Structure 1
Amino acid sequence: MVNELDLHYPPDTCPFCNIAAAFPVPSRRLWTSPFVDVADAVPIERESDPEKTSPSSFVVLAAKDVVAFLDILPMTKGHLLVATREHRVKVSDVEAEESRDMGFWLPILARVVSQVTGVTDYNIVQNNGARAAQVVPHVHFHIIPRPETMPQIQNKSWTMFGRGQRDELDDEDGASIAKEMRQMLRSELSIMDRRANAPKL
């Protein structure tokens, strides 16, 4: 049950719900399991217009139960958010099928973030409730690359949780990074498909 104190605004004004609605799952997708038609979950370029939402959203993944997009206030280059498609406030609200889909995509997206940024160390952070530093009351995981040289952040105790000094994502940079991530994600899925279908010795 949703605690009213955890709702900063109603779900119909949730920015993550707006992104999910702007990047729906096309009806051609079968989705009989998380492993069917996964490549279709990566939007093609004509489906990836950042201006479908305001502010712009740089979407990397639009799967059945999960959407992934760049943080518009990134801590580091390539800071990616992975959210439930449906409005769920806390992890305890997430349903079993959504959990399976999230579990399928998180490691793949972590590899994509590492490959695109060239940074092999990263945090995966998920906050539940305002006292736990959750700013948007919609379940989402942060994949935050940790390069050798970190930007100077004033409040270091909060850097793991996404607070501190952060600059807005430049639209041109966002479009470029998201495009590269989508390409890398397609490549990752292709490799996984080949491995899954390789003849067993």
Structure 2
Amino acid sequence: MSSKPPSPTTQIPLPSSDFDPGPSPSSSSSSPPPSNTTTTTTTTTTAPNTDPDCPFCHIAATYPPYDPAQPPPPTSSLLSPDATFPQPATFIILSTPHLIAFLDIMPLSQGHVLLCPRSHRPKLTDVHPSEAAELGRYLRVLSAAVSKATGVADWNVVQNNGAAAAQVVPHMHFHVIPRPELRDKKSERFTSTMFGRGQRDELDEEEGVELAERIRRAVAEMVRGDGEGAKL
């Protein structure tokens, strides 16, 4: 990447997720969702610690926080700051003052979500205690929301630290990965899907918009229900 920071309203493609050992096939994407206004204003959120070359820091700076219990509609400028960008969109699932979650653009399965702190924390040990507490809370919420939105009852939560541990983006993040088909544990398919090898297709933008909206609604239900001890 260039050392020059990207424009806040210019989307950049994310690197392949931690589970992809090599290049992944690309597919043509559909047009990004239309804005509900004729002009769009982008609000930039600056985390206390950022890396101008980090794609996750760029996402955190582009998408401001909103109340998870009252998510904005898909056409809101909070979720679509620039409807003219040529690169794949970012599909926001959760955006708080300290955390941000979004769909993986090269998912292992439908509903594959990434959760990370807004501040640039290369590894789990770099995360502040308050951030770690919020990450733990929302891992539970996201797990329940993804399961409800996809109808898949089983999932993985995975987090890698360092290149030797298959971390590609040096910004600490969790993967929440639905697992709809892992029946034959002796098969090659089980091994390849468990560790992310094999063919992966780029997330279609129209599908991403609809899926992200379903998960956001499920997140809102979980957050509102947490006061009543809601469980998956």
TM-score of the pair, normalised by structure 2: 0.67
Residue 18 of structure 1: which of 55, 58, 61 is its match? Answer: 58
1:145 aligns with 2:178: yes
| Structure 1, unpaired ranges of 5+ | 1-7, 27-36, 197-201
1:64 aligns with 2:97: yes
Pairing 1:3-14 to 2, within 5 Å after superposition: 11-14=51-54
Q: Deviations over 1:74-121 (max 9, x none)?
A: 000000001111111100111111101101100010000000111111
- The alignment of Structure 1 onto Structure 2 pairs a total of residues equal to 174
SS for the counterpart of 1:142 is strand
SS for the counterpart of 1:64 is coil
Distance change >3 Å, CA 173–CA 144, structure 1 → 2: same
CA distance in 2, matches of 1:139, 1:11: 13
1:181 aligns with 2:215: yes
Q: Deviations over 1:116-170 (max 9, x none)?
A: 11111110000011111111111110001000369xxx88646434444211000
Pairing 1:110-149 to 2, within 5 Å after superposition: 110-148=143-181
Residue 106 of structure 2: which of 58, 64, 73 is its match? Answer: 73
1:95 aligns with 2:135: no
Structure with greater contact order relative to length (CA < 8 Å, sep ≥ 6): 2
SS for the counterpart of 1:18 is helix
Distance change >3 Å, CA 66–CA 23, structure 1 → 2: same
Residue 69 of structure 1 and its aligned partner are, at CA, apart by 0.3
SS for the counterpart of 1:81 is strand
CA distance in 2, matches of 1:161, 1:127: 12
CA distance in 1, matches of 2:193, 2:115: 18
| Structure 2, unpaired ranges of 5+ | 1-14, 16-49
Q: What percentage of aligned pairs have identical amino acids? A: 45
Residue 80 of structure 2: which of 27, 49, 67 is its match? Answer: 49
**2:108–2:200 contact (8 Å) kept in structure 1:** yes
Distance change >3 Å, CA 104–CA 131, structure 1 → 2: same
Root-mean-square deviation (CA, aligned residues, Å) is 2.7
TM-score of the pair, normalised by structure 1: 0.77
When you count helix as a share of all residues, which structure comes out higher? 1
